[in-house]
Amino acid sequence: MEKPVTFQNLGQQLVGMLHIPNELHQEEKAPAIAMFHGFTGNKSEAHRLFVHFARDLCAVGFIVLRVDFRGSGDSEGEFEDMTVPGEVSDAEKSIDFLQLNPQVDKERIGVIGLSLGGRVATILASHDERLKYVVLLSPALGPLRERFMSQIGDEAKERLERGEAVQVSNGWYLRKRFFDTIDEPVPLDVMARIRASLLIIHGDGDPVVPIDTSKEGYQIIKDLNSENELYIVKRGDHVFSEREHTLAVMKKTREWLLSLPL
């Protein structure tokens, strides 16, 4: 079963899609996963990646929540007011929402994050002990402030200081607070705190987020948990656009999750 759901954070409505296994009886409980989209993305993601992912995991017994962060997709708010700490707050509320579902096993909740959503998932997992498993897809784990600042000109920087929003991508605008807080914290600096089982998946052909940051992140967490793993998709791009890559990523995630001693 798939149904639209809503919940609140800081007075604004978040919109999600909840996937519940058809064979799950009312009195039964199942493990759950919240999915966090990337920068300028939404709960469906590129080439409906999250839709296929959620349905695949739901078919093997997981309750899955795909959610739009505030200012993205169907959720309230404006994208120009988005910050990474704000999305971490939204992510935390999504875990609260799952815990309120009587069919969710509260001891088996995890997250999947893509790109900037992987950054959000990592930061959340570093302090939220409710998470038992974390899957990072092409995660943005390193410092980002200088990269974003280098993509805008001096005039735009002056406008930021005046409190205006500036364009960072086609039709997408952001304010100064986004740039000021994007590295608070840098995920690589807090990954050692994660106690959940962690799977990092990255394509070695990713032109957006270099795979080296995932390799660096894996070195930090590889000995923290025996289940922790780095899976490299040969020639995979940032969102695993080729069908064979999409299927490989879903298969790896499914098998890894089902192998966990939960």
SS (H, E, C) the chain: CEEEEEEEECCEEEEEEEECCCCCCCCCCEEEEEEECCCCCCCCCHHHHHHHHHHHHHCCCCEEEEECCCCCCCCCCCHHHCCHHHHHHHHHHHHHHHHCCCCEEEEEEEEEEECHHHHHHHHHHCCCCCEEEEEEECCCCCCCHHHHHHCCCHHHHHHHHCCCCEEEECCEEECHHHHHHCCCCCHHHHHHHCCCEEEEEEECCCCCCCHHHHHHHHHHHCCCCCCCEEEEECCCCCCCCCHHHHHHHHHHHHHHHHHCCC
Q: 5 falls in which pLDDT band (50, 70, 90)? A: very high
| Domain range 2-142+188-259, its CATH number among 3.30.565.10, 3.40.50.1820, 3.20.20.80, 1.10.287.3510 | 3.40.50.1820
What pLDDT is attached to residue 137? 98
Show me where the domains of the chain are located.
Answer: 2-142+188-259, 145-181
> Does the pTM of the predicted model rise above 0.95?
yes
Half-sphere exposure of 171 (CA within 13 A, CB side): 3
Phi and psi of 134, rounded to 5°? -140, 130
Average pLDDT over residues 152-161: 94
Residue type, 85: P
pLDDT at 179 over 90: yes
Q: 94 falls in which pLDDT band (50, 70, 90)? A: very high
What pLDDT is attached to residue 201? 98
For the segment 193-219, what is each residue's pLDDT rounded down to a tens digit?
999 999 999 999 999 999 999 999 999
For the segment 53-89, what is each residue's pLDDT rounded down to a tens digit?
999 999 999 999 999 999 999 999 999 999 999 999 9
Cα 202 from chain centroid? 14
Average pLDDT over residues 157-184: 96
pLDDT at 262 over 90: no
Cα 256 from chain centroid? 17
Average pLDDT over residues 110-126: 98
Average pLDDT over residues 107-111: 98
With tokens 């807090």, the residue in question is 190
